[in-house]
Structure 1
Amino acid sequence: MAGSTTAERGERQQESSGPPPARRLRVRRLRVIIILAVALVLLSAGTVWLLYGSQWLRVERVSVSGTTVLTPQQVREAADVPLGSPLISLDTDAVEARLRRKLPRIDAVDVSRSWPHGIGLKVTERVPVLLVQKGGNFVEVDDDGVRFATVSVAPKGVPALQLTLAQPGSRAASLRRFGEERLVREAVRVAGDIPAAVAHATRAVKVRSYDDISLELNDGRTVAWGSSEKGAAKARTLSALMKATPDARHFDVSVPTAPASSGS
């Protein structure tokens, strides 16, 4: 009986030595992929548990900065941040909305997470530029014309807003055309344009109509400002006019290119 050929012996040797190298490589790659996938799932599950289920990353303190009139305790109470809740799931937009709703004095607030256990509230308060007297109290008005707070004691250095609009003629027509809120914003614009040295000495901003706004200073001097238009030019003109005629009692910068002063 003839022996096996060389080809037959090669086939038997290949079968006895296991799968070919390419197949073994594919198996090893599949094992690595499975191991990595399992590790990724375990890592993701651990991360989710750490952020949401563990006691390590939960809200334990709320810090407040930037307050001037408000107290940190007032801000913390209005924010109503749930202590003990997962830091990652805290709705910072909801905290901001609560603060704006409950404390109108707040103009802006930045709510931030301070890992691993803190929430930071950085507050910017509205600053009054005018006061509207209401009975025995004073309503504070900011530079956007927002009436944001009522106080019993007038803040120092903030002029009063006097609206004398309910009168016949052009003043009543101005009220009908622009509305009280628009005229208040015009007064706010004027208050923002007054030169700093004059602003500190201004007792009242009087609004009779859209283009009839005037200032009353603490020493009784008056300034006819006109409308809120060309405020920067009027401010420069008023500063120069006061230096040129320091004894005058009345200044008119309603037309900044043709100012006038009178009285002594």
Structure 2
Amino acid sequence: MTPAAVSSRRRRGRPSREPREPDEARERSTARRPSGRSVRLRTVLLGAAVVAVFLGAIAVAWLSPLLSVRVIEVDGIEVVTYDEVVDALAVAEGTPLLRVDTAAAAQRVATIPRAASARVQRVYPSTVRVTVTEREAMVFFDAPDGTHSVDVEGVDFAVEPPPMFTPRLVTPTPGTGDPATRAAVEVLDKLPPDLRVQVETVEAPSPSDISIVLTDGRVVVWGGTDRSERKAAVVGPLLTQPGERFDVASPDLPTVR
């Protein structure tokens, strides 16, 4: 037998030297891996802990005096008084903030005659903030009991002298809920600002027959509230022409007399 053959036989007879993981090492690795059951249990326990913390926080906010009303802030008032707002708010000092029904409280504040709207917010840790939008006079009308102010919604909200430059409303039955009153303030609201300050009187025999008398005596016949945007665009250039009566009731065919 040649030396090469002997060497080949020796190589074929040697055991493989490829590394093999011992059985006990594999067992230790398997033991270290968490089972599906233990993972699910940990997830459940973690979720339960989070829920418990959340419920505890709610209980603290609901019961703790640390999160109770101690301050009431009121923004947006000029004529309405702070005491009027607090009385209408009806939220007692020491009430837990979480128990304050902000929607109901805002509705109560909005019942103040001069309040057009109100917003109530909780501001932690101990403040209730009230933001009031007051009504402003758009027109006024004279009545036996005095001068009434009417806002842009047609609401008769106060009996008092009107602010300067507020137009007078002349209509058969002025006041809240009157269709002619509502139409008159709607028309006035559509006027360009530079024209609105020139209005002295708004005459509204009916919702479809509205006229505007300017401080210089000129009259703008408006008609109804339909197409008011178009009428507002037409009336400005029309007033640059000489005349005393400017009719935009049909804004596509305006006339001057």
Q: TM-score, normalised by structure 1?
A: 0.72
Query: Given the alignment, which residue of 50, 55, 60 partners 1:50?
Result: 60
Query: Given the alignment, which residue of 80, 84, 90 partners 1:80?
Result: 90
Percent identity, aligned pairs only, is 28
Q: How far apart in 2 are the matches of 1:138 and 1:212?
A: 24
Equivalent residue number for residue 156 of structure 1: 164
CA positional deviation for 1:30: 10
CA positional deviation for 1:32: 6.2
Size of the aligned set, in residue pairs, is: 223
User: C-alpha deviations, 1:172-215, integer Å up to 9, x for none?
Assistant: xxxxxxxx722222212211122222211111110123432111
The DSSP-based 3-state class of the residue aligned with 1:56 is helix
The DSSP-based 3-state class of the residue aligned with 1:139 is strand
**For the aligned residues, what is the CA RMSD?**
3.0
Computing the radius of gyration from Cα coordinates, the structure with the larger value is 2
Query: Given the alignment, which residue of 242, 248, 253 partners 2:239?
Result: 242
Contact 2:199-2:213 at 8 Å conserved across structures: yes
AA partner of residue 251 (structure 1): F
Equivalent residue number for residue 80 of structure 2: 70
CA positional deviation for 1:123: 1.6
CA positional deviation for 1:136: 4.7
The DSSP-based 3-state class of the residue aligned with 2:67 is coil
Q: Is the alpha carbon distance of 1:237 and 1:45 closer, same or farther for their aligned partners in structure 2, counting shifts above 3 Å?
A: closer
The DSSP-based 3-state class of the residue aligned with 2:239 is helix
Query: Structure 1: which 5+ residue stretches go unaligned?
Result: 1-20, 166-179
The DSSP-based 3-state class of the residue aligned with 1:184 is helix
Equivalent residue number for residue 122 of structure 2: 113
AA partner of residue 254 (structure 1): A
Matches within 5 A, 1:23-34: none
Q: How far apart in 1 are the matches of 2:162 and 2:35?
A: 84
Contact 1:225-1:252 at 8 Å conserved across structures: yes
Q: How far apart in 2 are the matches of 1:58 and 1:66?
A: 24
Query: Given the alignment, which residue of 92, 102, 126 partners 2:135?
Result: 126
AA partner of residue 63 (structure 1): E
Query: Structure 2: which 5+ residue stretches go unaligned?
Result: 1-30
The DSSP-based 3-state class of the residue aligned with 1:244 is coil
AA partner of residue 103 (structure 2): D
Q: How far apart in 2 are the matches of 1:251 and 1:50?
A: 69
Q: How far apart in 2 are the matches of 1:50 and 1:258?
A: 70
CA positional deviation for 1:230: 1.8
AA partner of residue 237 (structure 1): V
User: C-alpha deviations, 1:74-108, integer Å up to 9, x for none?
Assistant: 3223212211110111111221121122x132222
Give the ranges of 4+ consecutive aligned residues of structure 1 lying more than 4 Å apart after TM superposition: 24-42
The DSSP-based 3-state class of the residue aligned with 2:103 is helix
The DSSP-based 3-state class of the residue aligned with 2:65 is coil
AA partner of residue 252 (structure 2): T
CA positional deviation for 1:116: 0.3
